[in-house]
Structure 1
Amino acid sequence: MLYRETFEDEVVHLKNSFSMLEEACKELRSSRLFFKLLEAVLKTGNRMNVGTIRGGAKAFKLDALLKLSDVKGADGKTTLLHFVVQEIIRSEGIRVSDSIMGKINQKNKTKTVEEREENYRRMGHDLVSGLSTELYNVKKTATIDLDVLASSVSNLSDGMEKLQQLVNKTLLTDEKSRNFVHTTKTFLNYAARNLKELHEDEDRVMLQVREITEYFHGNVSKEEPNPLRIFVIVRDFLGMLDHVCKELRSLKVPGSPNPLAPFR
C-alpha cells in the first residue's frame, strides 16, 4: 500500500529530473552567447601566448574557464575574466546597436563617441549578465545526484517485482484477497507502463549527457566519477561571470579597451 501511495510522486519527480537534464543539454548546445564567450576566451588566450608553444590553440577544455580568475593584472585585482567579459560586452553591444531595432531606438547618429560607447557597454552588459538566466537548467542540473536518480528507478522496479510476486503467488489462491489482487493487478499494469517510460527516459537522457560532454571535452573516460561534471563547471563559471558583471556595472570603461594591456 505504501508503494502504491508513493509511486505517482516518485515517477513525477524522476520524469521532471530527466526533463531538466534534457533541457540543460539543449541550453548548452544552443546558447549563442555561451559560444561567443568561449570564442573570446580562446582568442584572448592565443593573443597572450602568441609566439609560445601554447599559441594558436584550436580549442580548450571547459575546466580552463574556472582558471580565468587566477590570471591577474599588475593591480592584483583585475583578472583575465574581467577583460574577456569587457570585450564580449562591447562586441555584443555593437551587434545589438547595429540591428534594425537598435538603430531605431538608439539614434546613434545624434550621439557622441563617448555616448555610443556607453550605449554599447550598457546593452552588452544586459545581454552578458543574462546568460545565467538563459542557462537556468544547466545550473539546476549541477545539483542533481545521478546515483540517487538511478537508485530511485531501481527501487521502483524492485518494488513492482515484489508486488507482482505477492499477487501472483502468495495471495493467488486466497479467496479473501480476491478484490485486493484484482485492483493491485490493475495498478501493476499502470506501473509497468510508467517504469518502461522511465527507463527509456533514463537511457535517452544519459546518451544526451554523454554526447554534450564529448562535444565539449572529447572522449569521456568511463571512470569519470561524476557524469554531470560539465554542468558543475558551467554553473561555477556562471557564478564567476555574475560576480564580474556586477563589478563592471559600476565601472567606466574606455571606448576601445585593450584587454591584454594590464597583463604585459
Structure 2
Amino acid sequence: MDDTGNPEGLGAELFETLVKMAPTKEEEIKLKNYDGDLSKLGPAERFLKQVLDIPLAFKRVEAMLYRANFETEVNYLKKSFQSLEVTGNRMNVGTNRGGAKSFKLDTLLKLADIKGTDGKTTLLHFVVQEIIRSEGTGAESTNENVQNQTNPQFNEDEFRKKGLQVVAGLSRDFGNVKKAAGMDSDVLSSYVIKLEMGLDKVRLVLQYVKPDMQGNFFNSTEIFLKDAEEKILKIKADEIRALFLVKEVTEYFHGDTTKEEAHPFRIFMI
C-alpha cells in the first residue's frame, strides 16, 4: 500500500493469501489472549498475533482485496455490455421501419441445404456470389466505370475482386457478435451483483472507524467508496440498456421472446 493508502500496488494475490490466512474467531481469541513467550509460537502464529494487534485487520484486508480487483472487474463488465450494445444497435438498424416482418435467423442455415440442378451449387453459394458482385459494383467508383466500359470482363473481374475483399472483412465486422455469443446473461448479471455486494466490505470497515483511527487508509477508502458507487450505477445502467437491445433484436428475429428468456444471447449464435 502506498503513502496515499491505495492498495493497488501490492497486487490482489497478496491480499488473497492474507484473506486465506484469517483465523477463526476461536483462534483469534486464543492468539490475542496469549501472553507467553512469543518464541514458542510458530512463524505463522507470531505473524497473525502481530496482525491482530491492528484494528479491523482482516476486514481491512478484505476491503483492500476488493479494491485491488475493482477496476479489472469494472472494465470487463464495461467491455462486455459495450459489445452487446454495439451488436444490438447494428442488428437493430431498420428493424422497425417500412413494415418489415420478423423472421428466424435459423432459417438462414437452410440456405446451405437447398441445391441447384447440378446437385452441388447451393442457394448459399448463389447468395454469397451475389453479395460479392453487389459489393464489388458498389465499391467501384463512377470514374473507373467510365474508363473500363470497353472491357466488360475486366469490370466483372474487378467487381468480384473488390466484393471478395468486402466479404473477407466480414469477420472483423462480426467481432462483437462473436463476443456477444460467448457471453452468458446470468453470469454477467451475477458479476454485477457480486461487484455491488462487495462494496459492503468497504462500508463495514468505514462503519467501525473511530476518531483515533483516522489516516490515509480510511481517507482513501472513503474516496474509493464514492467513486465505486458511481461506477457501479453506470455499469447497472449499461446492463439494462444492453439487455433491452438484445430483447429488441430477439423480438424482431424470433418474434416470441418468452421462448428465449433462459438464453437471451442465443440470438448471436447463428
Q: TM-score normalized by structure 2?
A: 0.65
Question: Who is 2:82 aligned against?
Answer: 19
Map 1:211-222 → 2, pairs under 5 A = 211-221=248-258
SS of the equivalent of 2:112 reads: coil
One of 77, 102, 106 as aligned partner of 1:63: 106
Gaps of 5+ in 2: 1-63
The residue identity in structure 1 corresponding to 2:104 is K
CA distance change for structure 1 residues 72 and 224 in 2, over 3 Å: closer, same or farther? farther
Instruction: State the 1:155 CA deviation.
Output: 0.7
Contact kept in structure 1, 2:103 and 2:255, CA below 8 Å: no
* Among 200, 208, 221, the residue aligned to 2:245: 208
Summarize the alignment of residues 23-172 of structure 1 with structure 2, pairs less than 5 Å apart.
23-30=86-93, 60-97=103-140, 99-103=141-145, 107-111=147-151, 113-168=152-207, 171-172=208-209
Q: Which amino acid aligns with 1:86?
A: Q
Q: Tell me the residue number matched to 2:51.
A: none
Deviation at 1:143, TM superposition (A): 1.5
Identity over aligned pairs, percent: 47
Query: Would the alpha carbon gap of residues 224 and 70 (structure 1) be closer, same or farther in structure 2, given more than 3 Å must change?
Result: farther
User: Does the 8 Å CA contact 1:27/1:134 hold for their aligned counterparts?
Assistant: no
Whole-angstrom distance in 1 between the partners of 2:260 and 2:88:
21
- Partner letter of residue 138 of structure 2? R
Question: Secondary structure of the equivalent of 1:110?
Answer: coil
TM-score (norm 1): 0.67
| Structure number with bigger Rg | 2
1:180-219 map, 5 Å: 180-219=217-256
2:198 maps to a residue whose letter is G
Quote the offset at 1:160 in angstroms. Answer: 0.4
* AA at the equivalent of 2:121: T
Identify if the C-alpha distance between structure 1 residues 73 and 200 changes in structure 2 by more than 3 Å, giving closer, same or farther.
Answer: same
1:222 CA drift (Å): 6.0
SS class of match (1:221): helix
More off after superposition, 75-84 vs 144-153: 75-84
CA contact (8 A) 1:27 1:137 kept: no
Structure 1 gaps of 5+ residues are 36-56, 234-264
1:68-107 per-position Cα deviation (integer Å, ceiling 9, x unaligned): 212234555432200111122223333334x425426xx2
User: More displaced, 216-225 or 150-159?
Assistant: 216-225
Q: 1:59 to 1:155 in 2, by over 3 A?
A: closer
Q: What code does the residue aligned with 2:137 have?
A: I
SS in 1 for 2:269: helix
Q: Please give the secondary structure, in 1, of the residue aligned with 2:157.
A: helix
**1:227 aligns to 2:227 (yes or no):** no
Letter in 2 for 1:78: T
In structure 2, distance between residues paired with 1:101 and 1:203: 48
Kept in 1: contact 2:102–2:254 (CA 8 A): no
Contact 1:28–1:138 (8 Å) recurs in 2: no
